[in-house]
Amino acid sequence: MIIARLSLTDFRNHAAAELVAAPGLVALYGDNGAGKTNILEAISLLAPGRGLRRAALPEMVRDGAAGGFAVFAEVQPGDDLPPVSLGTGIEPAQPGRRVVRINGAAAAAASLGEWLGVLWLTPAMDRLFVDTAGNRRRFLDRLVLALDPRHAQHGNRYVAALRARGKLLGDPGHADPQWLTSLEAQLAEHGAAIDAGRRQMLAALSAELARQPDTPFARPLLTLVDSDGAERAVPSSAAALKDLFAARRRIDAAAGRATAGPHRDDLVAAHVATGRAAARCSTGEQKAMLLSLVLAHSDCVARARGQRPVLLLDEVAAHLDPPRRAALYHRLANQGGQAWLTGTEAALFADMPGPVTRFAIASGRIVAG
């Protein structure tokens, strides 16, 4: 998957910007605050979800603009497929409503995943293994989404049913048992699909990581656990989840929330070589394991879809020693597809193997070369 042309209008600090990129590596360099990460965020909005910052839509509008923004890209989804135009943004009259267009026609945001896969790694993700379980679930679900766009629909419907069930349990005197049973059936159906998607993703990631024993980056061992920290060895069937929710009605009513289910699961990791939990590893080891995960996931998508996703690597090069930096560049250049990287200095990208598209970013101004 290749982004051949990217246009931004009133997005963050970019009033009007256009970038034309080739396959391979794309290097964005400039001072902190110049707008490099904003470009990566714009690309991330061309996939389903809330983007790499998970920001509210009005926050992305350039200061002083009329109240809307637009992101447009011309994408080459594969060698044997024609180019497709993807666009998203908001209009001043409806600042809370995201507009999506595919080849000029209105479309649902979930449809973007059928044309473009995007995966990112940002400094904010460095604490993933010591962060909340919720952030790790979101990270895992983002990986699943790149392979199966339907995963977002299951997630949205699961959350909607979960909220409706919680509202009913909070008013037991007026709770309709039949409606409660119906909601729990929906939870079970979509929860089982969510669990299956996560398990398939972890199995695929583990297989890819095992194929790369000589990688210079630390490899993680991944496990899905429940809210009590016990390994989830058995897949969650719809029937089992339905029974679980029915059995925990009183517990959940007293707690004011659903205390068990896929929304309470967690992703844990350990350093393969040492067996140490990722949360107890050094910061450098955690970053290396996270990078291994992102690269393995790129391979998973390429193997499953026949199309490598666009990689967005924000300030990754600055945190690697020269040998590992060279190894990363070599791998990205040889695997095909397109990877966008940011850094504060052009020197960080001087030894990149070609082809390389380079842009200097300064206060919202973009200069090719």
Whether 263 maps to a domain, the answer reads yes
Whether 262 maps to a domain, the answer reads yes
Whether 8 maps to a domain, the answer reads no
Residue 38: the pLDDT is 96
Whether 334 maps to a domain, the answer reads no
Question: What CATH number corresponds to the domain at position 209?
Answer: 1.20.1050.90
Full-model pTM: 0.88
Q: Each residue of 265-276: pLDDT tens digit?
A: 999 999 998 999
Closest CA to 236 of 178, 176, 189, 195: 195
Residue 115: the pLDDT is 87
HSE value, Cβ hemisphere, 13 Å, CA-based, for 157: 17
HSE value, Cβ hemisphere, 13 Å, CA-based, for 210: 8
Distance, in Å, from the CA atom of 250 to the CA atom of 229, rounded to the nearest integer, reads 23
Whether 145 maps to a domain, the answer reads yes
Residues in the chain predicted with pLDDT less than 70, given as ranges, are 174, 213
Whether 174 maps to a domain, the answer reads yes
Whether 16 maps to a domain, the answer reads no
Indicate the number of domains in the chain. Answer: 1
Largest CA distance in the chain: 69
Helix-helix angle 133-147:150-169, to 10 degrees: 140
Residue 207, token pair as written in the block: 């297989």
The 3-state DSSP class for residue 46 equals coil
Determine the structural domain holding residue 239 and report its residue range. Answer: 130-281
Distance, in Å, from the CA atom of 156 to the CA atom of 171, rounded to the nearest integer, reads 23
Closest CA to 366 of 4, 9, 29, 60: 29
Whether 215 maps to a domain, the answer reads yes
